[in-house]
Amino acid sequence: MSWKRYQNELIVLGAFVVMLGAYAYKHNQGTSQVQEVQRVQSSLGELKEVIALKKIWADKKTTKKVASLQTLIPASKVKWSKKSKKVTATYTGLSSNELNKLITKILNLPVEVRLLDIKKTGSTYNVEFKCKW
């Protein structure tokens, strides 16, 4: 038989083909692992971002925190209206210190500022503030 003439070469060729197959298997495994790592990392990153964003902007304690805006300033200077998760507040005759205190507080609250309007009248300030969360 003619193949017998090349029996040795065929043995080497067969082993080489097996090695190539094994290499292809390794390569595929490596590629699919990289894709899987990317998929998991992407899901993990997305999930962590969602959790972090929800922790800030969907905090259940926000309602309580917003309520402090009413008590921060003497009641005589505050007109307060709250409906569900929306607040409309009007502050009149605020001193510079009171204004600073109020703005600092607002900046640290995780709410959507719909309107912040500050106007200086004489030596005092009037503030209109609308937010939701």
Using CB under 8 A, list all residues that contact another protein.
1-2, 4-9, 11-12, 14-16, 18-19, 21-23, 25-30, 32-33, 36-37, 40-41, 43-44, 46-51, 53-54, 56-58, 103, 107, 111-120
Closest CB 29 distance from another protein, rounded Å: 4
Closest CB 12 distance from another protein, rounded Å: 5
Closest CB 118 distance from another protein, rounded Å: 4
Closest CB 1 distance from another protein, rounded Å: 6
DSSP 34-103: HHHHHHHHHHHHHHHHHHHHHHHHT-TTHHHHHHHHHHSS-GGGEEEEEETTEEEEEEEEE-HHHHHHHH
Between residues 18 and 67, which has the closer beta carbon with respect to another protein? 18
Query: Helix (H, G, I), strand (E, B), or coil: what is residue 108?
Result: coil
Between residues 82 and 120, which has the closer beta carbon with respect to another protein? 120
Between residues 78 and 129, which has the closer beta carbon with respect to another protein? 129
Supply 131's token pair. 């937010």
Between residues 6 and 68, which has the closer beta carbon with respect to another protein? 6
Measured N-to-C along each axis, helices 96-107 and 62-71 cross at an angle, to the nearest 10 degrees, of: 180
Backbone angles phi, psi at 59, to 5 degrees: -70, 130
Closest CB 70 distance from another protein, rounded Å: 20
Supply 19's token pair. 């090695």
